[in-house]
Amino acid sequence: MRACFKQLLFLTALAAAVAFTRPAEAQALKTNDLSLGPPGTLQVLTPPDWKVQSVNLNLQDNVPVFDLHAPNNSLVIRLYCRWDGFAGKSIRPSEAEMSAIVSNSVVTQYMPIAVEKTFHLEKLHGPDVTGTYARVTDSTWSPVVNDTNNYPNICEGMFRTANLWGNFNLLTHDKNGSQFKAGLQVLESLRRKP
């Protein structure tokens, strides 16, 4: 009887441990609505413990900007959101134009400080979003600087979902690891609210 009770207690503890250590992929995701006014609402799925906030960068064309922060700022995504006809212009970038914009941005902003001598454009694709991005490592980054907003890995890209589009920065402490993959999964969830 005592042995059965010990086994039951062990199985209960084991079941509880497994329930509390389920992988992040199995966690429920939170839908965040990023309102852009009349052009529509951009939706993005994040784990429930992420923080999403509107940021006023006082940009010349008043681009709506949103920051998505993982817990402890382990990674940050910044979205610069636009739409077809933004600022009264007939801009509607194609995939080829987005690739050229990302490439030019990486060459001018990041290659002068990048560890890498070359970069590759990669495709962003989710159920309702397409785009392109490139990843580089900042050669000036130092682990000695204890700044939570200091990230050695930069992913620069553009996205489109229906009439909404824009560019993004994904900042992480790993270039190909779990942080980058978590950020990419969030970007792949972008969609225009139906």
What average pLDDT does range 59-64 have in this prediction? Answer: 89
- Asked whether the predicted pLDDT for residue 190 surpasses 70, the reply is yes
Q: Which of 11-15, 23-27, 126-130 shows the lowest mean pLDDT across its residues?
A: 11-15
What average pLDDT does range 64-93 have in this prediction? Answer: 92
- Asked whether the predicted pLDDT for residue 20 surpasses 80, the reply is no
Task: Provide the pLDDT for residue 91.
Answer: 83
Please write the tens of the pLDDT for every residue from 26-59: 569 999 999 999 999 999 999 999 999 999 999 8
Residue by residue, what is the 3-state secondary structure of the chain? CHHHHHHHHHHHHHHHHHHHCCCHHHCCCEEEEEECCCCCEEEEEECCCCEEEEECCCCCCCCCEEEEECHHHCEEEEEEEEECCHHHCCCCCCHHHHHHHHHHHHHHHHHHHECCCCCCCEEEECCCCEEEEEEEEECCCCCCCCCCCCCCEEEEEEEEECCEEEEEEEEECCCCCHHHHHHHHHHHCCEECC
Task: Provide the pLDDT for residue 93.
Answer: 94
Task: Provide the pLDDT for residue 8.
Answer: 35
Task: Provide the pLDDT for residue 150.
Answer: 83
- Asked whether the predicted pLDDT for residue 192 surpasses 70, the reply is yes
- Asked whether the predicted pLDDT for residue 11 surpasses 50, the reply is no
Structural domains in the chain, sorted by start:
28-192 (3.40.1000)
Percent of the chain surpassing pLDDT 70: 83
Task: Provide the pLDDT for residue 174.
Answer: 93
Q: Which of 36-45, 139-148, 162-171, 178-187 shows the lowest mean pLDDT across its residues?
A: 139-148
